Structure 1
Amino acid sequence: MLTLRARHLFDGHELHEDRVVTVDGGRIAAVSGPGPADVDLGAATLLPGLIDCHVHLAFDASPDPVAQLDRPGLADRMRQAARQHLLAGVTTVRDLGDRDYMALDLGLGPAEGPEILAAGPPVTTSGGHCWWLGGQADGEAAVRAAVRERARKGVHVVKVMVTGGQMTEGSHPHLLQYGPAELHAAVDEAHAAGLPAAAHAHSPQGIAHALRAGFDTIEHCAFWTEHSVEPDPHTIAALADSPVVVSMTAGIVPVPGLEVPAKIRERWPKTAGVMRDLYAAGVTFVIGSDAGIAPIKPHGLLPHAVRHLVDTGFHPLDVLRAITSVAAGACRVGTRKGRIAPGFDADLLAVAGNPLSDVTALRRPLAVYRMGLKV
């Protein structure tokens, strides 16, 4: 048994003062008022371990992460990537695209990495976005078979590339890859297997199709067109009225000397405007950092993504909920992750200062606990 005391405690919903948390057998046994503790964290804030809803452990955040997939030692690099998340206070990650289902079986103990909720290879069209991960399926029957295969493999979520993307030659974010029949089939099969369905969707049309098909989360949701960014107010209103969760792609770490392509960099201000529109409309959101896809997206990026959204105009309390309790719900682990409450996993993060008044406190971890074990 272990007791921890901190001046501030964010329980996944609200901030409290001077609490003692009792941990027993990897779970939180009790949360009580002021009193003595085995570990006194002083002026720190204790939070639930953070949850990043969109990472790629197989990508190494190099200038060409796709080419690196074929280098020997991929599993070891994925373990190191997972470790980077854990050291940043991220105790749960949702891996939305790997090769050969490797993220399902990295063999990490609680003190070695976060809990990994994996999708395996994303379902995509022949030659479509991320086809080289091995998830190609064309037509309704093939899509159904692909989802059933993932369910048999034991995935935690089904990822479908509704639109194209930027990392694949010949694929474009503004173009659809699947029509309504295939998308409905994917969601039907996922839900029949008891799995959530995540839609990679950049374009306005792709977002609208994903919403109508009943996907549980929409990744990116950036409203990218061929040459610009064009949010659709009707779709945003429909998102706000639906149970869908938008996984906002936020956060970068500047890399000196690295030139970001102009066609991407020029869209950033308008993409920030889309985020503000979604937030103002009341759309439920979480954060998916997309860690691993580029040098500006290193593993362990989530604390930087929090700063990104707060700088964009989001209230810190809403962002903290988005990376704890709301994220846990979106990932279907809300009964045991994302909160500091009796019965929940003892995944904990202690940071210097109060992240509600200074979100950069999340970049100053004092201690990380995974299932009650100090990392």
Structure 2
Amino acid sequence: MLLLTAETVLTGPDGDRIPGGAVLVDGTTIVATGPRAEIDRHPGAAGAEHRDFPGATILPGLINGHAHLVWDASFAMLQHYFDADDTELLLGVVGRSQQALRAGVTTLRDLGDRRGLVLRVRDAINRGELTGPRLLGSAAPLTPPKGHCWFFGGEVDGIDAIRAQVRHNADLGADVIKVMASGGETTPDSPPTWAQQFSAEELCVVVAEATAAGLPVAAHAHGAQSIADAVAAGVSTIEHCSWLGAENSGPDLREDVAREIGARGIAVCHAYPPDWRGFAEFVGEQRFQAALDRVRWMDQHGVTFLPGTDGGLPTSVFDNYAGALSYYVEAVGWTPGRVVEMATTGAAAALGLDHVGRVAEGFDADLLVVDGDPSADIHALHRQRLVVARGEPVTPETN
């Protein structure tokens, strides 16, 4: 048994807090949470290991909704990927997932790797053979021949190939099916970012086949038409959601589609990196401001947001998720409390996880302890004291 006490417990939903709170953990599960005096009377508290954190806050562990653990976040990440064999990539996945955990990320969704390597690491963590966050993986994303991220091994051509690849990923044990509905920026000689890579009919086949396997679908979609087709097909999340017009003609904001995204509860993962200030300088003020405007516009239409970093891309490191979350406060303008909820309770709901994202009885013991109150100051997330992953205490990177 493990008993954690602190000045405040943030249970998950914005505004829900327990002053002078305590959390009692038995094995991998939270068995009680409440005021310290109340939890002290719990039958399991007397023999528990007690860790007290004066001036600190206990909150749910953070959730990163979009990363690529086979990439090393360097500017040569793609060449390093091509040069590495499976053993090297596997070791990199382990190391970077542990970096993420030490930075407070207790759940991470990986949306593209080679031959399901992330799923192998996930299984080793689940068996207790490795320390790491809860991993969700897609294996190789579906993409047309020489399409965006073709090198992961998910190239498909035609309906039959689409069905076969979805079934193959499901057989590997994928937690989610990823489809590259539009082009992207990181793959040389592939379709441009705004271009459709799959027809509306093909995206419907992806979702139908994934649904038959009991899996959600994450659609990478920058182009407005790809976004509209993904929504109509019934995907669970849309990655990037940039609303680019055809032939790179500028933004194509479609209010009817945005309202449909909100009404259906489809989560949008904007996927901005921890060094968002450096990224803003790199892309330029106009492009950065346009991205902010799109986020605010979608928010006005009731869209649910899932935070993620596209971790593994250049400068999108795994050991500074708190930096990525500061973007939503300092650039977008949301309150710290809303962002903390988005990265915990909200992210868990968006990913269909009903046993994480809250500090409550019966939930998995995925916890983060920080100095200060992150619901008032988002930078408190940098001041980490302890990470707990399924009941196991982990020393944060910052200590």
1:12 and 2:25 matched: no
Which residue identity lines up with residue 150 of structure 2 in the other structure?
Answer: W
Q: Is the 8 A contact 2:273 2:311 kept in 1?
A: no
Which residue identity lines up with residue 53 of structure 2 in the other structure?
Answer: L
Quote the offset at 1:34 in angstroms.
Answer: 2.5
2:150 counterpart (113, 124, 131): 131
Quote the offset at 1:317 in angstroms.
Answer: 2.4
Cα distance per residue 1:146-165 (max 9 Å; x no partner): 11111111100000000000
1:105 counterpart (113, 120, 136): 120
Structure 1 distance, partners of 2:277, 2:181, is 30
Cα distance per residue 1:87-139 (max 9 Å; x no partner): 11000100000001000012334872111100001011100000011000111
Structure 1 distance, partners of 2:233, 2:319, is 32
* Structure 1 gap ranges (5+): none
Aligned equivalent of 1:304: 323
Quote the offset at 1:243 in angstroms.
Answer: 2.2
Structure 2 distance, partners of 1:113, 1:150, is 22
Aligned equivalent of 1:174: 194
Matches within 5 A, 1:201-280: 201-225=221-245, 226=248, 228-253=250-275, 262=283, 266-280=286-300
Q: Is the 8 A contact 2:268 2:305 kept in 1?
A: yes
1:71 and 2:73 matched: no
The structure-2 alpha-carbon separation of the partners of 1:111 and 1:15, relative to structure 1 and needing over 3 Å to count, comes to farther
1:23 and 2:35 matched: no
Q: Is the 8 A contact 1:103 1:118 kept in 2?
A: yes
Q: Is the 8 A contact 2:67 2:108 kept in 1?
A: yes
1:343 and 2:374 matched: no
2:216 counterpart (196, 204, 213): 196
Q: Is the 8 A contact 1:159 1:198 kept in 2?
A: yes
Quote the offset at 1:333 in angstroms.
Answer: 1.7
Q: Is the 8 A contact 2:337 2:376 kept in 1?
A: no
- Aligned partner of residue 137 in structure 1, secondary structure: coil
Cα distance per residue 1:186-209 (max 9 Å; x no partner): 000111111111000011111111
Q: Is the 8 A contact 1:201 1:207 kept in 2?
A: yes
Q: Is the 8 A contact 2:280 2:288 kept in 1?
A: no
Which residue identity lines up with residue 271 of structure 2 in the other structure?
Answer: T
Q: Is the 8 A contact 1:291 1:301 kept in 2?
A: no
The structure-2 alpha-carbon separation of the partners of 1:126 and 1:174, relative to structure 1 and needing over 3 Å to count, comes to same
Aligned equivalent of 1:325: 345
Quote the offset at 1:250 in angstroms.
Answer: 2.3
Worse overlay, 212-221 or 165-174: 165-174
Quote the offset at 1:327 in angstroms.
Answer: 1.1
Q: Is the 8 A contact 2:141 2:152 kept in 1?
A: yes
Structure 2 distance, partners of 1:19, 1:259, is 39
Q: Is the 8 A contact 1:292 1:299 kept in 2?
A: yes
Structure 2 distance, partners of 1:303, 1:292, is 16
Structure 1 stretches of at least 4 aligned residues deviating more than 3 Å after TM superposition: 108-111, 227-230, 258-262
Quote the offset at 1:254 in angstroms.
Answer: 6.5
- Aligned partner of residue 241 in structure 1, secondary structure: helix
Structure 2 distance, partners of 1:359, 1:221, is 25
Quote the offset at 1:16 in angstroms.
Answer: 2.6
The structure-2 alpha-carbon separation of the partners of 1:229 and 1:294, relative to structure 1 and needing over 3 Å to count, comes to farther
The structure-2 alpha-carbon separation of the partners of 1:227 and 1:363, relative to structure 1 and needing over 3 Å to count, comes to farther
Quote the offset at 1:304 in angstroms.
Answer: 1.4
Structure 1 distance, partners of 2:169, 2:202, is 16
1:60 and 2:72 matched: yes
Quote the offset at 1:316 in angstroms.
Answer: 2.3
- Aligned partner of residue 374 in structure 1, secondary structure: strand
Structure 2 distance, partners of 1:79, 1:308, is 27
Quote the offset at 1:216 in angstroms.
Answer: 0.6
Q: Is the 8 A contact 2:269 2:308 kept in 1?
A: yes
- Aligned partner of residue 32 in structure 2, secondary structure: strand
Q: Is the 8 A contact 1:251 1:301 kept in 2?
A: no
Structure 2 distance, partners of 1:367, 1:315, is 24
Aligned equivalent of 2:160: 141
Q: Is the 8 A contact 1:120 1:155 kept in 2?
A: yes
Which residue identity lines up with residue 347 of structure 2 in the other structure?
Answer: A
The structure-2 alpha-carbon separation of the partners of 1:28 and 1:321, relative to structure 1 and needing over 3 Å to count, comes to same
Structure 2 distance, partners of 1:79, 1:186, is 30
Q: Is the 8 A contact 2:276 2:324 kept in 1?
A: no
Aligned equivalent of 2:138: 119
Cα distance per residue 1:314-353 (max 9 Å; x no partner): 232222221111211222222x111111111111100111
Quote the offset at 1:247 in angstroms.
Answer: 1.4
- Aligned partner of residue 244 in structure 2, secondary structure: coil
Q: Is the 8 A contact 1:111 1:370 kept in 2?
A: no
How many residue pairs were aligned? Answer: 371
Aligned equivalent of 2:397: none
Aligned equivalent of 2:303: 283
Quote the offset at 1:294 in angstroms.
Answer: 1.0
Q: Is the 8 A contact 1:100 1:133 kept in 2?
A: yes
* Structure 2 gap ranges (5+): 395-399
User: Which is richer in helix?
Assistant: 2
Q: Is the 8 A contact 2:275 2:324 kept in 1?
A: no
Q: Is the 8 A contact 1:56 1:291 kept in 2?
A: yes
